[in-house]
Amino acid sequence: MKKLLSLLSLCAVFAHVSSAFAQGPGSSGVLFLLIAPGARAAGMGESFVAIADDATATYWNPAGLAFQERMSLALMHSNWLPQLASDLYYDYATVVKPISGIGTAGLSVTFINLGEQIITGENDPTELGRFSSYELALAGSFGTKIGANSAAGVTLKFIYSNLAPELNNTTQKGDGNATAFAVDLGYLHRHLLLDRLNFGVNLTNIGPKITYIDAAQADPLPTNLRLGFSYNLLKQEFNSLTLTTEINRLIVAPKREGSADPVYKALVTAFTDEPLKDELKHFIYNAGAEYWYNNFVALRTGYHYDQVGRVKYISFGAGLKYSSLNLDFGYISAGEGHPLSDTMRFSLGIGL
């Protein structure tokens, strides 16, 4: 069963969050929480923590909600990893609403369909049956200003993982269903030191371990630290150009004596177990750019670099804005044969 859980999680997010597996199989669970929603952010190399100015701030940085002054809705769909399987898909939906004098609240739903799986015996490849797997997260977010140009935000998540039913063909009993809770903490500062320079940070998926079989085999959540800057290089009546850069690091410390460090220890030990030159390899580096013409059409590009996970790709994107509607498209070019190659995201944003 343990191998089955690791395999299904790997199939769900292979390569995109592969650094999670660089620390060893089973080092963290529910890795679908690391899949980034929003075709706009995807086109910018997933460098969005210091922007977070649309409804997807519920994922990227809940502090960004504080600066949003109108109710809005965002929907995204992606046929996930089309090079790997044909029945994987990922959906994200979120709605945000300002509350006068307090801040802005948001609700979001994340869902990943892992497709159909085949049941076989432990030592016999004969097919005994089939089942379907999926995972989802329901979240509530809130962002509020703590200064004229600064804000803080929080997201609370309920996570449900339905990877496998209870099977009778293994010696290890238990099923692949589990629930968990998590918290995200975000901060955003606009016009930091320089006009048009923004800084953002988001610590996500803080919570207790998730248990499928028993407590001894529980896995920590994929706690992730994301930090970045954005700069509005060009701001004219008809032309706008924003540059953004970001680093993120999975905060899951190596297992010691069969158990991974709890998150409060991992925040320290994840950065101190190796020499600095080796530690820097575990950071994922993202950069992106977004150009708008007449606040109507956008062109985007970005770059994603993950040395440990061996994930390096260029992304492209485009967007159209008309009245209260936003249509966005993101595309990943990761090289021939790569599971992420040709992955596309489509998003719809609606101002309400």
Using an 8 Å Cβ cutoff, are 41 and 60 in contact? yes
Is it the case that residue 50 has pLDDT exceeding 80? yes
For residue 23, the model assigns a pLDDT of: 43
Given phi > 0 = left and psi -120 to 50 = alpha, else beta, which region is 273? alpha
Cβ atoms of 315 and 331 within 8 Å: the answer is: yes
> What's 14's DSSP letter?
T
Distance CA 174, CA 129 (A): 17
Return the number of other C-beta atoms located less than 10 Å from residue 112's C-beta. Answer: 25
Beta bridge partners of 202: 186, 226
Structural domain spans, the chain: 2-351
Handedness of CA 316, 321, 324, 325 (dihedral sign): negative
**Which residues on neighbouring strands pair with residue 83, listed in sequence order?**
none
Residue 344 is encoded by which pair of tokens? Answer: 């596309």
Return the amino acid letter for 214. Answer: D
Per-residue pLDDT tens over the stretch 163-220: 876 655 555 556 678 899 999 999 999 999 888 999 999 999 999 888 877 666 778 8
Could you say which of 3.90.1150.10, 2.40.160.60, 3.30.70.100, 3.40.50.300 is the CATH number of the domain covering 2-351? 2.40.160.60
pLDDT in tens, 242-298: 999 999 998 875 554 445 556 656 665 565 556 566 667 888 999 999 999 999 999
Beta bridge partners of 225: 203, 249
The CA distance from 27 to 124, in Å, is 28
β-bridge mates for residue 201, sequence order: 187, 227
Each residue's pLDDT tens digit, 290-338: 999 999 999 999 999 988 777 889 999 999 999 899 999 999 987 776 7
Neighbours of 121 (CB within 10 A): 12
Interval 26-44 mean pLDDT: 87
Taking the C-alpha atoms of residue 136 and residue 111, their distance in angstroms, rounded to an integer, is 4
Strands (E), 212-310: 224-235, 239-250, 284-293, 297-306
Helix (H) or strand (E) holding 11: helix 2-13
Q: Which residue carries 């460090």 as its tokens?
A: 261
Which residues on adjacent β-strands are paired with residue 219? 210
Per-residue pLDDT, 269: 59
Q: Is 108 exposed, middle or buried (0-12, 13-18, 19+ CB in 10 A)?
A: buried
**Rounded mean pLDDT, 225-243:** 95
pLDDT at residue 13 is higher than 60 = no
Q: What is the mean pLDDT of residues 85-93?
A: 87
In this structure, are residues 197 and 191 in contact, taking their beta carbons and an 8 Å threshold? Answer: yes
Count CA atoms within 13 Å of residue 218 on its CB side: 15
Sequence-distant (6+) residues with CB within 8 A of 195 are: none
Closest CA to 225 of 254, 187, 262: 187
Q: What is the pTM of this model?
A: 0.85
Integer angstrom CA distances of residue 15 from 22, 35, 228: 11, 11, 22
